[in-house]
Chains A and B, each alone.
Chain A
Amino acid sequence: MSDYITHDHEHDGIDRRGFLQCMAWAGTGLLWTVSGGVLASKTLAQIAKAAEPLPATDLSFLQISDSHIGFSKEANKDVTATFKIALDRINALPTPPSFLIHTGDITQLSKPEEFDIFDEVLKSCRTKDVFYVPGEHDVLSDNGKLYRDRYLKNVEGKGSGWYSFNKNGVHFIGLVNVLNLEAGGLGQLGDEQLEWLEADVKDLGTSTPIVVFAHIPLWAVYPQWGWGTSDSERALGYLKRFGSVTVLNGHIHQVLQKVEGNVTFHSAMSTAFPQPAPGTAPSPGPMKVPAEKLRSVLGLTTVQYRQGNNALAIVDSNLS
């Protein structure tokens, strides 16, 4: 491993970037933790058994993504049931997360009845605070009006629905990169949102941990399939002076992670159906797996912040 060590932020002899270069493409279905350079595998069930409450200064939140309520094809004929299982897992955690982040594609076709089902099922979740960003499936018919009417009630949404908020000293930024897309292009933030972002972080100290969340990856995962955001470089330029930046996304229905300097990019599993690894299929459409394997490729992500640690701890857990 020593050949791969380029950054040893935590002085523990383990370099995250080097390890992840080896691990990133084997991520689907794996359960692992990144915490200040130390990697470990665990499941939500193990976390539940360990029953170790977090110290009061810590912050724990949970990412769910790509519920696709309304989808009923072969890859998963009951996406509502798997979404419920994900919520059951959250409810079983010994330390409830402070809040949830949903990184988009709540629904399959932006239909009011699909949003209704999602909202109804979500009522069973003990964690009540949820922050959203839209996926392209949530803004199909009306440029996102219905989505914004429903899911931006607790935040000060700007423009097409982006916003920021602070929790326990961490600055969270929810971005919209699924609207006003251009022919031949990728996900897009647009000038207005980028100008807002620049102003939003301008007065923050560089030691403020930053968490950015958006639906489409803010790094070029696989542009041939549209898995990237055309103007993400400009956004990241405004964030590069910060010591800890965590960028969470959905959209690609699989765990992938990349570390660039102080920025950790992480994509979450879906609660509905998996998608193929980049370039391994004719298209990025829903991937069919044997029924008994489905829950092993669906999941959610917990994120923990411990003061003094450079990186946030990210744990992916499947629904098996």
Chain B
Amino acid sequence: MTTIAFKNKLVALLCGITVLNLSLLARANEIKETAGDAGGKTQIEIKDFNFNPQTLTVKSGQKITWINRDEEPHTVVSVEKQFKKSPPLDTDQEFTITAGAPGTYTYFCSVHPKMTGTIVVQKS
């Protein structure tokens, strides 16, 4: 959790600069993805209309939980309908699935389709 809190502060700081910050934000996303992979986290935080980490790598059979930290409802929907879609998640509500067969699963928020994420499932 410390890592996630730090990252959010970083993102907020970068956005505070506002001018020409797009390349910096892209870099922050790379950091997030790396942290997700290395730490093997199975929680995805929804914050500021983003899935954090944007790419999560898990072992088959592991549970994955999304938690919505925004004041806006979000959903988790598999692009290829490979896993059950979540109900609308209000603030602090969670949604959990169990990672199935190895592969790459993309998903998005059907309310705010700009929000996309990826789950990479490896053999357990």
List of A residues within 8 angstroms of B90 by Cβ: 109
List of B residues within 8 angstroms of A182 by Cβ: 113
List of B residues within 8 angstroms of A284 by Cβ: 49
Q: Does A94 contact B (CB under 8 A)?
A: no
Q: Does B63 contact A (CB under 8 A)?
A: no
Q: A183-B79, A183-B106, A286-B72 in contact; A140/B91 too (CB < 8 A)?
A: no
Q: Does A73 contact B (CB under 8 A)?
A: yes
| A282/B48 in contact, CB under 8 A | yes
List of A residues within 8 angstroms of B72 by Cβ: 285-286
| B112/A184 in contact, CB under 8 A | no
| B114/A73 in contact, CB under 8 A | no
Among candidates A74, A109, A285, residue contacting B88 with C-beta atoms closer than 8 Å:
A109
Q: Could you tell me the dominant secondary structure of chain B's interface residues?
A: loop
Interface size class of A (residues with CB under 8 A): 20 to 34
* Minimum C-beta distance from B37 to chain A (A): 21
Among candidates B15, B71, B87, residue contacting A286 with C-beta atoms closer than 8 Å:
B71
Q: Does B35 contact A (CB under 8 A)?
A: no
The A-contacting residues of B in range 63-86, CB under 8 angstroms, are 70-73, 75, 77, 79
Among candidates B11, B50, B70, B87, residue contacting A141 with C-beta atoms closer than 8 Å:
B87
Closest to A182 in B: B113
The tally of residues in B whose CB lies under 8 Å from a CB in A reads 27
Q: Does B111 contact A (CB under 8 A)?
A: yes
Q: Does B110 contact A (CB under 8 A)?
A: yes
Q: Does B18 contact A (CB under 8 A)?
A: yes
Q: Does B12 contact A (CB under 8 A)?
A: yes
Closest to B71 in A: A73
Q: In the assembly, what is the distance between CA of A141 and CA of B18, in Å?
A: 36
* Minimum C-beta distance from B117 to chain A (A): 10
List of A residues within 8 angstroms of B42 by Cβ: none
A127-142 interface code vs B (CB 8 A; 1 in, 0 out): 0000000001100110
Among candidates B73, B107, B108, B110, residue contacting A109 with C-beta atoms closer than 8 Å:
B73
Q: In the assembly, what is the distance between CA of A13 and CA of B82, in Å?
A: 60
| B88/A184 in contact, CB under 8 A | no
Can you list 25 pairs linking A and B with CB atoms under 8 Å apart? A73-B71, A74-B71, A109-B73, A109-B88, A136-B112, A140-B73, A140-B75, A140-B88, A140-B111, A181-B111, A182-B113, A183-B79, A183-B108, A184-B113, A185-B113, A185-B114, A223-B114, A224-B114, A226-B112, A226-B113, A281-B15, A282-B11, A282-B12, A282-B48, A284-B49
Which B residues are closer than 8 A to A by beta carbons?
Answer: 11-12, 15, 18, 48-50, 70-73, 75, 77, 79, 87-88, 90-91, 106-108, 110-114, 116
Which A residues are closer than 8 A to B by beta carbons?
Answer: 73-75, 108-110, 136-137, 140-141, 181-186, 223-226, 279-286
